[in-house]
Every structure is written in C-alpha cells, then in structure tokens.
Structure 1
Amino acid sequence: MVTTLLVVVIVLAIAFDYINGFHDAANSIATIVSTKVLSPFQAVLWAAVFNFAAYFYFTDHKVANTIAKTVVENFITLEVILAGLLAAITWNLFTWWFGIPSSSSHTLIGGFAGAGMAKAASMGAGIMSAINLAPILKVVAFIVLAPVIGMVISVIISIIILHISKNARPSVAEKWFKRLQLISSAALSFTHGGNDAQKVMGIIYVSMVASNVLNTGDPMPEWIPISCYAAIALGTMSGGWKIVKTMGSKITKVNAFEGVAAESAGAVTLGITEHFGIPVSTTHTITGSIVGVGLLKRVSAVRWGVTVSLLWAWVLTIPVSATLAAIVFSIIHLFF
C-alpha cells in the first residue's frame, strides 16, 4: 500500500509541476507576446528551453530544503502530502480557469501546511504544532516583499536604461529593446525554472523520507530534479493564454522597453531570493515589476482595479489552499 501510494504522490507532484508550468507561463512570456517580439508558440518554446536549462545551474536545492521543512517531520505522512497536492492542484486549476495569476508556490505551501495541521488535529495535538513557523512566516512576508522588491528594481532599471538611451533615435532604440527582450525573458524563464521546480522537488523528497525509501539527510536522487525541471518546461510549452492576457495588457500596457525592465527586475529578484532559499512567488514578483514600469509613466497608467483583485487572490491563496487540504485530508483519513 505504501509503495502504491508513494507512486501516486510522485505522479501527482510531477503533474503539479506541469500545471505550474502552464499556469505560470505568462510570467515570462506575457510581455514578449504583447510587444510582438515573438509569436505565442515561439515564446512558450523559448521559455521552456530556459526553464529546463536552470537544472544545470541551480544545484544547491535551497528552496527545496525550505519547502521540505514547512511541516514538522513527525506529522509528515504520505496521506498529508497527498491531501496537500490535491488541494494545490485544485486551486491552481481554478485560478487558471478564471485567468487569475495566483501563486503556485503559495498554493503548494498552503496545501502542505493545511494537511499537516489536519493531521495534528487528528492526533489530538495542537494544529500549530504541525508547522515550522520560521519558513512559513518568511513565505508570508514575501507575499508583500517580492512584488515590492520587483517594483523598485524595475523602476531603477527603467531609469538606468532611459539615461543610457536618452540620445538614441526612437526607431533604433525600439529595435534594440526588442532584441534585449529576448535576453530578459530568457533570464526570467531561467530563474523561474530554478525557483519553482525546486518546490516540488522538496515535496517528492519528503514523500520518500516519509515512506522510508530515503533517510533524512540523504542526498536527493538525481531523477527528482530532472523530472521536475522537465515537467515545468513541458507545462510552459502548453501555454496559459488566459493569464498571458491579464499579465500582458490588463495591468498596464507594456512596450518593448518596459518589457525589458520588468523581466530583468523579475529575474534579479528571483535570483536573489533563490540564493537565500526563499520560495517566493514568480507571479507576485513579475506583477510588481510590471506595476513598477507602469508607475514610471504615471500612476494612472496602472489599472489599479485589476491589481487590487490580484492582491485579494494572493492573500487568499494560502488560507484557501490550507482549508481545502484539511478537508481533503479528513476524507482521505477515513480510508487509510
């Protein structure tokens, strides 16, 4: 039974990474599609290649380690992980269907934590005893900090680019910006792969520890990162056009120069947070970066009604995912 359940959990985890790929494809291709630098098909292929290329660079697995420590080890079982994954997949598909660029990262963390808390309750322990508050609080803090950092960096990059190109002819500058957007979108896809693929790697690793296939502290088998990076790249190739529309035009209208600034800011922010093992939301980061380039034009250039709606989705993601996971765990618990 344990072996079968472990296989089911691993398959669902890789499926989540695939869904994460097409759910978050918009993060790295929305601006490059909206500025017509690449066609939608070219853009998703471009992003997918760099999603997978991250496998060869991000080998420290710091983000994976943070995710693995979200729930206290005594409360981690395959049933807990299964419930967390089912809840996370459900919320991800729901938000994708309605074109809401919510965070796959926070969905997974919320689901895992919620299922762990339900497990603690079923054992008669305090629900808060099931989670490690330090990584949870760090993740919650970066719901606010990640978009703000992305916004500030995008404004700084925009000002630097404007200063460098102030004497260039508009037609020449536009041509260069479109070329540079290939580089900035590649950088964002690269860091997106490095950040997001690791989250599921952490889940698969703790699943194998919970089923006694691995011991705590054992090195991660190489097939885990390869599978996760491949799944997220394939998911990206499947697109996610409803969210592309929201990210590429509904927040603010983006041109090639602004696309370069926003994508570069997103890539820098994700690179910094990955270095410190902080599992931030790619969605939140690039949204903040896009808002930053919009603010540089004028405050009214940002469609604040859309932005406020996105903020509500961000705030609700962790508690909704946690609640869903607790309900799913209660159902699963009846059969195991």
Structure 2
Amino acid sequence: MKKWMVGLFVTIIGMVVLSACNNEKSNDKAAADSGDGYEETTIRLAYNLPQDHHVAVGIEDFAKKVIEKSDGKVNVQVYPAGQLLSDKDMNQSILSGGVEMGVNSSTLWSSTVPAMGVFDVPYIFNDYAAVGEAVNGEFGDKLRGAMEEKGAKVLIFADYGYVQFANNKRPLKTPADFKGLKIRSIGDLPSELIKAYGASPVFMGGGEVYMALQRDTVDGATSGTTAMLQRKYDEVTKYLTVNNYAYLEFLLAVNKDYWDGLPKKTQDLLTEVAAETETWIREQAEKEDTESAKGLEEKGMEVYYVPADELDVWKDAAAPVRDVFVKNAGDLGKELLELVDKK
C-alpha cells in the first residue's frame, strides 16, 4: 500500500476515534443534565430511635428518596435503633468521620455546641408552629452556623415533640412532688430542671431506661410520649405528667469535611430531600404527641395534664435553668433567647 494511502487511512481512523470520544462526552453531559450523572458514593446513616417513631420513619424515607432520585448511585445505608451507635457515642462519631451521617437529639449536641441547649430551656416554645418558624429563620441559621464551626452540617431539624415526665411512685402535680425522686435525664439542662424541682437526675441512654425503671434504679424518666409508648413505659411506670416543659429536636447532621467533599449535584439532592423530610416530620409531631399520650392512658397510665393557669408555678421553679443556659451558651445563647422572646 502506498504511503499516501496509509496516511489517509490513519487520519480517517483518528477522526472516527475523536468523534466517538466527543459523542461519549456529550452523552455523559446529557446524562448528568438529565439527573443520571451522580458520582457513586455510600453514606452511612445511624440513629438510635425506635424504627416506628415518626422521626425514624421520616429519616428512613429520606434515605429511600435519595437512593431513588440518584438511581442508586448515592447509596444511603441506614443503621437504625442503635445497631451501629448509641446516642451517647453518636456525636463524636459524626465529628470524627466514623460515620458520615447521624441523628441525635439537640440535648446531646449541647455538650458540643452549648447554644443547642436552647430547646431545653423550660417553657420558651408555647406551640408547635413557633418552633418551625424559629428553626426556619435567623434562630435556626445561628444554630446551623455554630454546628458547622464544630465540624457538623445540619441537614434536618427533626421535630420530636414536647417532653414530659413519667414515674412509678406518685402523681407529679406540682414541682414539690418531685422531691426525693431519681429521674432519668437526657442532658445537662434537663438535669438542672430536675434538680430545680427537687429530684436527683440520672443520665442514661434511651435504650437503658426500661430496665432501669423495672429494677428501680430510677423512679421516673423524662422523654417524649412517643418514645414512652414505643419503649413500653406503661409496663414500668404508672404516672405521666404532661406539662410540655421543653420541645425536643433531633438533628440529622453530616460530617462537614465529608459534606464539603461531595459534588454539588449530590449536595443539592441531599438538601432538597432533607427539606421535604423536615416538613413531613414537623407535621407529624403534634399528631403523634396527642395520640401517644392517649395511648399510654389507654394502657393504664394515670395521666395528669397541668392546667394552663397552674403553669406559672412550674415556670417560676424552673427559672434557674434559664440562667444556667445563658452562662453556658454565652452571647449566642442570649441572642437566641431574645429572638424567641420577640415572638
């Protein structure tokens, strides 16, 4: 074959290869533009709540939607009900990158970000709508910023609902009725409240409470009625006091370094689905609180609803807790309380 023919043949082959490469790049771009261009990644997500709790249901749905919308390329592996981490170990694991994502209470996050304890300041949120308005505004932005400074990005403020008191000794109709009791606490500020009411706080994880109540290691516990019902408090406690003293949030948080390393397309997907999930969880909180309190009563617990005209006694006795929060959370804590008090 003559040299000019060989050269022509090589040129033609090169053009074909180049065209194929360009077509492949175009196809890749089209796939990305159509929603199929997610980079493959696996995200481990741990939580410690019972799987039928409304927060857990929302988180499971979050994971499912992320997987579906990314055609399985963003794979969220969920480890429920303490299978991977206890609530006491969760935060450090998220911050260290031991797990990419995790769900834990605002109360437990307050040991890392003291301002997150604002949800435990007694009686500052009067209704469910006020909480949603706060976390979706400047109040929530300040808390998100404080968390990111520590190394965790908040994707969801998951409304757990109001927190109450259960015990197996006597009805708690006034703060004075707490005197001498040992009450399971869920964090620093709830412990301060328990002490202000004259009882002794005992800190333990959610999974330990049933056995502690059964064995009289503690006389009672503070928690939401949703978890009380699912964890069968009715079998080991007799009395429930509903006074809505604090509004518990759970946070879906992701390790900040891991988040920063994700492609923007994946970040946008996670943010979009998180917003949808947060709305759904918030809508469930009031309904679940009401139904679970009734459920505990139907199972034999004696339920006392503190009348609105008697709440001032409870608030006055709890006043020292607000001072402790401000001391711990500093200027940011003051700013958050001022924002809530303006409403």
TM-score by length of 1: 0.27
More helix by share: 1
TM-score by length of 2: 0.26
Larger Rg: 2
Higher relative contact order (CA 8 A, sep 6+): 1
